[in-house]
Amino acid sequence: MSEVFEFTAENLAQAKDFIGRYPEGRQRSAVMPLLDLAQRQNGGWLPESAVARIAEMLDMAPIRVLEVVTFYSMYKQSPVGKHQINVCTTTPCWLRGSDEVVGACRNALGIGIGETTADGVFTLGEVECLGACVNAPVVQVDDDYYEDVDERSMAHIIDALKRGDRPAAGSQTGRAASAPEGGPLTLTGETAKPAGKKAVKNVDPVEIDKAEATDAEATDAEATDAEAPDAVAPDLETGETEAAEPEVVETEGVPGEDDEAAGDEPRTKKE
């Protein structure tokens, strides 16, 4: 095990604040923020001594803390570079070109997934869903998220970081939040445009109401026709319609009723 880990006075106060947010007996719920705090203090990764110290503070078995560390990709167990570049390669990002983004990182940095540059500045990682699938591909650089990334924009981000600049996070295509790529359409008087065609203006709202009212009347009429039991299709030759004959339902009569109707004596039970 590496040398003993201790929080700085400032971070220790922050750790106690995290622990104090949970009820008595539930302090172990603070394990994740404490791990993050320790990792930031230690240059981006967690030594075994930090895991042991946090387990002691939260009255947890060290293996329970280690289980959390090994489950989440945000926690690192070995030294990393100054900048951590994590490319999402889950299905939506992959379909939108994350392989090309990874390729751009390899070319610009000269390293592969899980490796760190010789100067210790960049570490390249591959992660699962970063929660912005609609703006795929997504890349996390340290605490910032870059969306709608392609080979060209990824190379630009890396070049900026090499110069010591911090490129603006968010969409790299100018998309506003999660709006459609062509810009927002709701309440703008435009409809979504088919591929290769210009957007078209909506028709007059009054005309839309009229059309909807006509459709509703037609639907009601169809429902009424379907409910009519005696409806008969017109004769194809004459065009005339004959009324359907009423359906005769035969029922079993009460003994003696048929005889009385015919003028016969009603049947009587033998004495």
Residue environment code for 125-148, b if the CB has 16+ CB neighbours within 10 A, otherwise e: bbbeebebbebbbbbbbeeebbbb
Q: Is the pLDDT of residue 163 over 70?
A: yes
More confident site: 246 or 22: 22
Are residue 57 and residue 99 in the same domain, yes or no? no
The helix/strand count (H/E) of the chain reads as 9, 5
Distance CA 220, CA 68 (A): 61
The percentage of the chain sitting over the pLDDT mark of 90, rounded to a whole number, equals: 61
Are residue 65 and residue 145 in the same domain, yes or no? no
Query: Each residue of 222-247: pLDDT tens digit?
Result: 666 656 555 555 565 665 655 556 56
Residue 180, domain member (yes or no)? no
Are residue 87 and residue 66 in the same domain, yes or no? no
Are residue 56 and residue 131 in the same domain, yes or no? no
Residue 113, domain member (yes or no)? yes
The number of folded domains in the chain is: 2
Look at the chain and count its residues.
271
Would you state the pLDDT for residue 198? Answer: 43
Would you state the pLDDT for residue 51? Answer: 96
Among 33-37, 132-136, 138-142, 173-177, which stretch is predicted with the lowest mean pLDDT? 173-177
Distance CA 53, CA 37 (A): 12
More confident site: 251 or 173: 173
What pLDDT band is residue 2 in, cutting at 50, 70 and 90?
low
Q: What is the DSSP letter of 190?
A: B
Cα–Cα separations (whole angstroms), residue 250 to 244, 253, 255? 18, 9, 15
Helix runs in 118-204, H state only: 151-162
Mean pLDDT of all residues in 244-257 = 56
Distance CA 184, CA 172 (A): 17
Query: Each residue of 195-214: pLDDT tens digit?
Result: 444 444 444 555 556 666 66
Mean pLDDT of all residues in 162-180 = 90
Mean pLDDT of all residues in 120-147 = 94
Instruction: State the pTM of this model.
Output: 0.63
**Domain of residue 112, residue span:** 83-171
Query: Each residue of 92-107: pLDDT tens digit?
Result: 999 999 999 999 999 9
Tokens of 75: 């926690």
**Residue found by looking up tokens 């592969």 in the block:** 112
Pick from 171, 191, 208: which residue ends a domain? 171
Are residue 65 and residue 25 in the same domain, yes or no? yes
Number of other residues whose CB lies within 10 A of the CB of residue 152 = 11
Among 13-22, 77-86, 128-137, 194-203, which stretch is predicted with the lowest mean pLDDT? 194-203
Radius of gyration of the chain (CA): 38
Distance CA 186, CA 205 (A): 14
**Exposed, middle or buried by CB within 10 Å (0-12, 13-18, 19+), for 115?**
middle
Q: Kindly state the greatest CA–CA separation across the chain.
A: 121
Distance CA 191, CA 198 (A): 10
Mean pLDDT of all residues in 51-80 = 95
Q: Is the pLDDT of residue 137 over 70?
A: yes
Instruction: Evaluate whether 137 touches 97 at the Cβ level (below 8 Å).
Output: yes
What pLDDT band is residue 186 in, cutting at 50, 70 and 90?
confident
Sign of the CA dihedral with 19 first, then 24, 26, and 28 last? positive
Distance CA 254, CA 169 (A): 89
Would you state the pLDDT for residue 36? Answer: 96
Distance CA 62, CA 48 (A): 9
- CATH number assigned to the domain comprising residue 38: 1.10.10
Q: Is the pLDDT of residue 53 over 80?
A: yes
Residue 229, domain member (yes or no)? no
- CATH number assigned to the domain comprising residue 123: 3.40.30.10
Distance CA 110, CA 71 (A): 28
Are residue 104 and residue 161 in the same domain, yes or no? yes
Are residue 104 and residue 157 in the same domain, yes or no? yes
More confident site: 214 or 178: 178
